[in-house]
Structure 1
Amino acid sequence: MAMKHITFYLDCVSPYAWLAHERLPQVLEGLSYSLEYRPVLLGALLQQHANPGPAGIAPKRDWTYRHVTWLGHAQGTPLQMPARHPFNPVPLLRLALACSDDGSINRFVAGALLRHVWQGGADALDPVRLQTLQSELVAQLRPGQDAQSDAPKALLRANTEAAQAKGVFGVPMFEVDGKLFWGLDSLPMLRAYLDGDAWFAGPDWNAVSALPSGLPARG
């Protein structure tokens, strides 16, 4: 089977991105693949579709935080809610992209970014912690780059706009062969596609796009 290239769209504000990051190596075990991590701004993806996200609906916010904490426990992935959530992830995303020339980051940088938020229950934007994270990434930083540099700002904007153009509406999302797989719970489906499951060659993948809505159009 030919090697497949997978793009992992992530934003460190998403606990599901952290859980997927930790789960992915096991899901892809035994396959021939290349993998790139692309930071995007989840808030912009949600805004494009007027989606408030789970944190924008109070009962759903409570459930989501409860659910991801349990998922971490069930999966064996340490996950503690940060001191404040949601928060503005832009400084963290830009710091990660200060380690990039082309908008992709490596697994070490992605892991450092996600652990910073999802382990320990601390404030993700605490200035002392941000400085510690930058020190952890110092060997990865491009010469003269940090979170305040123009290049990482441009990369984050370009990554997000390119993702929007491809139909990426949330994170974590995985792209392979032009197909998009959304969420932690899509990982078994991604694996099935990579294993050559014949279902994906049938009509069902594309047929859903032609299904008419039974709701009146919003004027």
Structure 2
Amino acid sequence: MKRITFYLDFISPYAWLAFERLPEVLEGLTYSVTYQPVLLGALLQQHGNPGPAGIAPKRDWTYRHVTWLGHAQGTPLQMPARHPFNPLPLLRQALACSDDGSINRYVAGTVLRHVWQGGGDALDPTRLAALADALAEQVRPGQDVNSDGPKALLRANTEAAQAAGVFGVPAFGVDGKLFWGLDGLPMLRAYLDGDAWFDGPAWDAVSQLPSGLPGKP
């Protein structure tokens, strides 16, 4: 059975869309999924990437695009009242439900729906309190959103993701390979299905392609 690591940050609308789409895309296959919350901002900073929200025209397009994608795939998606926002409270709330840095699908889905359904402010104190109540039975003994445990798990998750080459979310790791983005799901399906393309040279060859830009290897 193939084991997939799903790297996500709740700030990403594509993570929500991929979370909902994944079971359908992989229907009929035998696999397991580990949901690993990471801090997207740290991944972007590592590579000097401002992210879609850091470029004004791209920000508008991204929000328009994800709203349409939600409509097209039948996934309810409403932009929250403010975006981007600081996702740390949500990441730590989710990881308060973890002993080892991974969270179950219920926890991941509960936090993602908190952000991407209803159009509310993801950091509104009343809504955060309601989220904490919804996850109360999942919280590990001695943990809460402000304790050191979730902070340490988030830091470890993010550092492990960086070491694995994760540069954005959603990303899916399996057998040492990374598949990035909602539109990477069909490629992930093909790999898990045994597509012979992955046995050829194409996967590794691209990393040897020289850049034509000055100062780039």
With the shorter chain as reference, the TM-score category is over 0.9
Between the aligned partners of 2:139 and 2:145, the Cα distance in structure 1 is 10
**Aligned-partner SS, 1:13:** coil
Q: Paired residue for 2:212?
A: 214
Count of matched residue positions in the alignment of Structure 1 and Structure 2? 216
Q: Which 4+ stretches in 1 moved above 2 angstroms?
A: none
Letter in structure 2 aligned against 1:58? A
Q: SS where residue 212 of structure 2 aligns?
A: coil
Q: Give the secondary-structure state (helix, strand or coil) at the position aligned to 1:215.
A: coil
SS at match of 1:6: strand
Matches within 5 A, 1:73-112: 73-112=71-110
Unpaired runs of at least 5, structure 1: none
The reply to whether residue 6 of structure 1 matches residue 4 of structure 2 is yes
- Output the CA distance in 1 between the equivalents of 2:120 and 2:76: 14
Partners of 1:175 and 1:42 lie apart in 2 by 16
* Cα-to-partner distance string for 1:141-189 (whole Å, 9 max, x where unaligned): 0012111010000000000000000100000000000000000000000
Q: Distance in 2 between matches of 1:54 and 1:32?
A: 34
Q: Which residue of 2 aligns with 1:17?
A: 15
In 2, distance between residues paired with 1:74 and 1:12? Answer: 21
The amino acid that maps onto 1:105 is I
Query: Taking every aligned residue pair, what percent have the same amino acid on both sides?
Result: 82
Paired amino acid for 1:148: N
Q: CA deviation at 1:197?
A: 0.1
Cα distance in 1 for residues equivalent to 2:143 and 2:77: 30
RMSD between aligned alpha carbons? 0.6
CA distance in structure 2 between the partners assigned to 1:92 and 1:36 by the alignment: 18
Matched, 1:63 2:85: no
State the one-letter code of the partner of 1:37. Y
Matched, 1:172 2:170: yes
Give me the whole-angstrom Cα distance separating, in 2, the residues matched to 1:212 and 1:109: 43
User: Per-residue CA shift, 1:97-145, capped at 9, x if unaligned?
Assistant: 0000000000000000100000000000001100100000011000121
Determine the C-alpha separation between the residues in 2 that align with 1:120 and 1:146: 25
Match in the other structure for 1:135: 133
| TM-superposition CA deviations, 1:52-90 (whole Å, max 9, x none) | 000000000000000000000000000000000000000
Question: 1:114 aligned to 112, 125, 147, which one?
Answer: 112
Distance in structure 2 (CA, Å) of the matches to 1:203 and 1:144: 49
Q: 2:6, 2:174 → 1: CA distance?
A: 9
Secondary structure, aligned partner of 1:163: helix
* TM-score, length-scaled by structure 2: 0.99
Distance 1:146 1:83 in 2: 26
Aligned-partner Cα distance in 2 for 1:68–1:52: 18
